[in-house]
Amino acid sequence: MSAVFDKPSIFQRAAPMFQGFDGPLAFAVFLLASAGLMIMYSSGFDHGTRFMDHGRNMLIAGGIMFVVAQIPPQRLMAFAVPLYVLGVALLVAVAIFGITKKGAKRWINLGIVIQPSE
């Protein structure tokens, strides 16, 4: 005896991720990002290399934004206090161990040089 189980299509499996997706808001963000890229391309003098890098970074940021949007807000609230404490600790570390560049102490070397205030 053989039983046939219907395997859901990829669209049926992905549908729950888009349930509550705000299409008009996403379109507005897309328009603003496109306008920014267009303005940057029209004002640049380096044959589009910065444009391509910025476009790639925008796509990566959009992907990260989509993944983070799948996390329930309650789970994000659980990380709010530890992330705030980490941010304040980094700012205190800059005040104590900071690197001075161009007359300002804003950077800290953690293996890579970061600017916690940003």
Vertex 81 angle, CA 99 and 69, to 5°? 95
**pLDDT recorded at residue 35:** 93
Q: Are residues 49 and 88 in the same domain?
A: no
**21-27-28-33 Cα dihedral, nearest 10 degrees:** 120
**Is 100's pLDDT higher than 80?**
yes
**pLDDT recorded at residue 3:** 60
Residues 55 and 61: their CA atoms lie apart, in Å, by 10
Q: Are residues 79 and 65 in the same domain?
A: no
Q: How confident is the model at residue 117 (pLDDT cuts 50, 70, 90)?
A: confident
**Domain assignment present for 10:** no
**pLDDT, tens digit, 9 for 90 and up, residues 60-72:** 998 898 888 888 8
Q: Are residues 32 and 63 in the same domain?
A: yes
Q: How confident is the model at residue 115 (pLDDT cuts 50, 70, 90)?
A: confident
- R_g of the chain, CA atoms, integer Å: 22
**pLDDT recorded at residue 16:** 79
